[in-house]
Chains A and B, each alone.
Chain A
Amino acid sequence: MTSATSLTVDTPGTTSAGTTSPWTSPGTSPGTEGSPSARAAAAHAPIPFRRLAWVELTKMFDTRSGFWLLAGIAISALLATAAVVAFAPEESQTFEQFSAAIGMPIAILLPMVAILSVTAEWSQRGTLTTFTLVPHRGRVLLAKAVCAVGVGVVSMGVALAIGALGNVVGTAISGAPTVWDVDAANLATIVLANVLGLMMGFTLGVVLRSSPVAVVGYFVFSLVLPNALFALGMVQEWFADLQPWVDFYFSYTVLFEDVPTGEQWAQIGTSGLLWLVLPLAFGVWRVTRTEVK
């Protein structure tokens, strides 16, 4: 088949100079900078990361599902606190009780927030707009991760404050002494544990890029696998020794209970590399190369 090989369309009467923007009426832009590309390079600053993060934060809140997920964190913290005040026996109305009751729903909801921050856009094909406005997809993902972690830390702060308030109010009502039985170091590890759980959700979102699949993936990770691996450890002694080093859920949930020992930190490191770092790196690499349509 004959092919047209000449590179340019013959366009009589066309000049590259003097390109004014069609939005502003012709003449407002003097076009003295010469070619359009020269004008563009002079006029447009790169998009700062701050702005990207701000945009991603907006996107997390401005849809119904995003809004209710975040509202759900506050609501469940309030409900959990109220439940402890109403139903828990006096002697167990301690800060540990309150934070444990609040921590449960949060540990489930935060990974969902992280998953949706990535997948909502892929299922709704908003990525088409996002990645045409910001072709550096890695930066977009980084902005999403920063926002997800930020939202996680802030909502944990809010939830713990609600729990503290519950502890004060609850014990005031019952007349029992107010007990602060969680130390600062353990509070920090609890926050870290939630951030790791959230990052696990984020990783699943980046790798699977589908809301339902990633949500199911997270429950397999947090409910099904731990039981299966526990059973495996029961029958296979070699695995029982190996498990803390390779089973991320097993090793990072230690952070909820206590400040880990040196060996436990190392186990969080090796299993986290396996479950979090490598899959996330792979997922990001794929997102940067995949076709967006």
Chain B
Amino acid sequence: MITLDQLTKRYGDHLAVDDVSFTAAPGRVTGFLGPNGAGKSTTMRMLTGLTRPTDGHALVNGRPYAELPNPGREVGVLLDASAQHAGRTGREVLAIARRTMGLPRARVEETLERVGLTEEEGGQRVRHYSLGMRQRLGIGLALLGDPEVLVLDEPANGLDPAGIRWMRDLLRGFADAGGTVLLSSHLLHEVEVVADDLVVIGRGRIVARGSKAELLESAGTVARSRRTPELVAALHAAGHAATVGTDGLVHSDAGCEAVGDVALAAGLPLAELRPADGAGLEEMFLQLTAAAQRDSVDADPSPTSSDLREGAAA
């Protein structure tokens, strides 16, 4: 169980993390999503006691990280797979952690096998590892102490498709066995498949949060029309939220029926009208984060995303 309560980090004038609160529950994979620079890593460093929060606090299993008697036994952490002494072998890296945690010797080989590193690869220096192998070693390091909680910062970076699939299954199994997983990514697709809950962060602030099902539901309706701007205007006039997505489709929080009625009343031909499904989540992610993107031109958040935000917060 991970609890973040009003975590805030300020670097000079820059608010890197702004009042972030959420819970990652046991038995569930919580996806922590946001564009680059959104504050995911900073949040995770504050959670694991590596960065001092400016304000707020974080608890793991009900305790501040620094008060865990043997943290590696309770929380598996992977923040940066490249942060290893390049001159040590994978096996040596695990051996040092094993000794620190006071685990049986055999755990090292078990773990190498568990993360798919061969005996020979275990004996190679980390310097010669590919990024994917480093990620595997990092995940091994996190799993080594048999923890109940996993905190992984962009663990899929550098993994090949088979590796991503493997990690997904591993995390699913971990959560299904009662473990808590907090997993960050800047790619929705990566977490969409495995996460039960989503927390979306942009420019240091949470912009959406809820179970995946909930967020999927709140993604509303997708419509296509040759007269897109007029459809959007008509929907706005009718009091519905509507925006044009990057795919050229009109996204609205109104139901299909309501959108159809509005189009008919306005005399606008529709080429397509359907509920936003899984693919709609991507659009939602883009829209939610667009408001928080540094290069966003439009400072005024679109009605759709603000509605979605409220829907997600409810």
A contact residues vs B (CB 8 Å cutoff): 1-12, 14-16, 18-26, 31, 35-37, 39-41, 43-47, 51-52, 54-55, 58-59, 62-65, 120-121, 124-126, 128-129, 131-136, 289, 291-293
Contacts and interface: CB of A to CB of B under 8 A. Distances in A.
Contact of B99 (A26, A54, A289): A54
B296 interface: no
Given A44-B73, A65-B87, A135-B49, 13 more contacts: A3-B206, A9-B25, A11-B197, A19-B148, A20-B178, A21-B179, A22-B178, A25-B177, A44-B68, A44-B70, A63-B87, A291-B45, A293-B45
Interface residues of B, number: 82
Contact of A22 (B51, B84, B173, B211): B173
B63 A37 contact: yes
Interface stretch (B75-83, B231-239, B264-272, B276-284): B75-83
Contacts of A2: 306, 309-310, 313
A175 B73 CA distance: 64
A40 B148 contact: yes
B55 to A, nearest CB: 15
A292 B45 contact: yes
Given A2-B306, A4-B209, A43 B73 contact: yes
A44 B102 CA distance: 10
Contacts of A37: 1, 61-63
Nearest to B101: A133
Nearest to B82: A125
A86 B197 CA distance: 76
Contacts of B100: 47, 51-52, 55, 133-134
B97 to A, nearest CB: 6
B69 interface: yes
A7 B19 CA distance: 11
A286 B28 CA distance: 37
Contacts of B242: none
A273 B289 CA distance: 54
B192 interface: no
Given A1-B301, A35-B62, A120-B85, A289 B52 contact: yes
A11 B66 contact: no
Interface in B46-60: 48-52
B68 A135 contact: yes
Interface of B is mostly: mixed
Nearest to B312: A4
B205 A1 contact: yes
A132 B309 CA distance: 34
Contacts of B65: 135
A23 B97 CA distance: 17
A11 B196 contact: yes
A9 B210 contact: yes
Contacts of B196: 11
Interface of B: 1, 3, 5, 19, 21-28, 30, 41, 45, 48-52, 61-63, 65-66, 68-74, 77, 79-80, 82-88, 92-93, 96-97, 99-102, 141, 143, 146-149, 173-179, 196-197, 199, 205-211, 214, 291, 301, 306, 309-310, 312-314
B178 A18 contact: yes
A64 B87 contact: yes
A129 to B, nearest CB: 7
A11 B30 CA distance: 11
Nearest to A46: B69
A43 B84 CA distance: 29
Nearest to B45: A293
B118 to A, nearest CB: 21
Given A47-B100, A59-B96, A11 B313 contact: no
Contacts of B146: 21, 23-24
Contact of A36 (B1, B5, B84, B209): B1
A31 B199 CA distance: 29
A131 B49 CA distance: 8
Most buried by B among A3, A4, A47: A4
Nearest to A5: B313
A35 B205 CA distance: 30
B313 A4 contact: yes
Nearest to B4: A7
Given A18-B178, A132-B49, A3 B205 contact: yes
A229 B196 CA distance: 67
B98 to A, nearest CB: 10
Given A9-B25, A22-B178, A126 B84 contact: yes
Given A4-B209, A5-B21, A133-B97, A19 B178 contact: yes
B211 A10 contact: yes
